[in-house]
Chains A and B, each alone.
Chain A
Amino acid sequence: MELLSEDDLNLKEMTWEELNRAWDLWFTLAQATNDFDPPYTHGVFVDPDWKPTRKPEGDSE
């Protein structure tokens, strides 16, 4: 049974250099959603008054 998507499972076929470059690109692109990230996804020091910011239309992440 496949538990993850092909995009993730393909990581195993990458060399370290390829993995690092792919991660670096992914991380740079992921900066676009910084303003919409919750302060913590699984933490306890969350501002009790924090409200999620609405993401832009069409952003599925």
Chain B
Amino acid sequence: MASRSKNIYFELTEELNAEGFIAVLASGQAVVYYKIAMMSKDGDWILKETPEACRRVLEVLGQRGARYRSGAPLDVRWLAAGWSSHFEFIDLEGRRIRCDFLTRPPRVSPEDVAPLFEAKPGESLLVIGLEPLIRMKQTQRAKDYPVIGELARLLPPEREIEWTTDPDRILELASVHGESSKRPPVRAARAGGSREDVVVELARELDRLQQQDRKRVEKYRAAAETFTREFLAARIGDKELTEAHSHVCQLAERWLPFDPLGTEEDHGAPQ
């Protein structure tokens, strides 16, 4: 039985990685891990993009009685295209546990994903590093940006200045650590701009990031629309996981494109 004193998503991370490192805790639960905020009821993992990793996840979730939620099959053919897979089960205490998996986190390059699966000495949980986590958090949601500011405080100052959303920290750090920064708010501070100048540049930067994310997510959403309807009509979520997986693969082969963004943009899961 799950301990009352342990985060079930931390527990699942350890279980998923018990036979080899395949799953890195990311997003909201990583924010909890870094003691920033309790901001998510779901668990998100970056999964190693291998069939073996997918099998391990399905095995662990199957043992917990999980069901598919609407989403791509947990299969590298779709995960490699930036799609994400979603599951849900009820734990022994009657609580709803939602588990999301992707292999191509948005705004994080494959070169930066590979080292995430290397265990850090003395750390029992495989958790995404601060800078890739910040990149993932650069979404269209306004609530993510204060969190980015707090995550950035955990970095050394020469890296904090590349990510912080706090105008006061930019003004404090810019003269010593901002020389090589290309960020407009840092450049404004270094050019002797006022606090208001820095705030305006930060707001423009944030809006640009939100618009980029919105545009990307919308392309995925449009590409998934028919598939989602078919998924729901087939009541995949009511089926036992093995049967559901087979069925959702069949639906995806017909309705879920392998290249939803075309070749013009980097892939990266919208979720």
Contacts and interface: CB of A to CB of B under 8 A. Distances in A.
B67 interface: no
B224 interface: yes
A20 B221 CA distance: 35
Contact of A34 (B96, B139, B232): B96
Interface stretch (B4-12, B15-23, B107-115, B127-135): B4-12
Given A23-B32, A27-B95, A37-B41, A44 B5 contact: no
A22 B36 CA distance: 13
A21 interface: yes
Interface stretch (B46-54, B140-148, B182-190): B140-148
A9 B149 CA distance: 12
A57 interface: no
Contacts, number: 101
Interface string A1-40: 1011000110110100101111110111011001001011
A44 B224 contact: yes
Interface string A33-61: 01001011111111110000000000000
Contact residues on B (Cβ < 8 Å of other chain), bracket: 35 or more
B141 A42 contact: yes
Most chain A CB within a 10 A radius of its CB, from B5, B71, B165, B167 = B5
Nearest to B146: A3
A56 to B, nearest CB: 18
A35 B149 CA distance: 31
A13 B38 CA distance: 14
B120 interface: no
Contacts of A9: 150
Contact of B270 (A21, A30, A39, A44): A44
Contact of B36 (A4, A20, A41): A4
Interface of B: 4-8, 10, 32, 35-38, 41, 69-72, 84, 86, 93-96, 139-141, 146-147, 149-150, 165-169, 217, 220-221, 223-225, 227-229, 231-232, 270-271
20 contacts: A1-B168, A4-B37, A8-B37, A8-B38, A9-B150, A27-B7, A27-B38, A28-B95, A30-B41, A40-B86, A40-B271, A42-B140, A42-B217, A44-B217, A44-B223, A45-B69, A45-B71, A45-B72, A47-B70, A48-B229
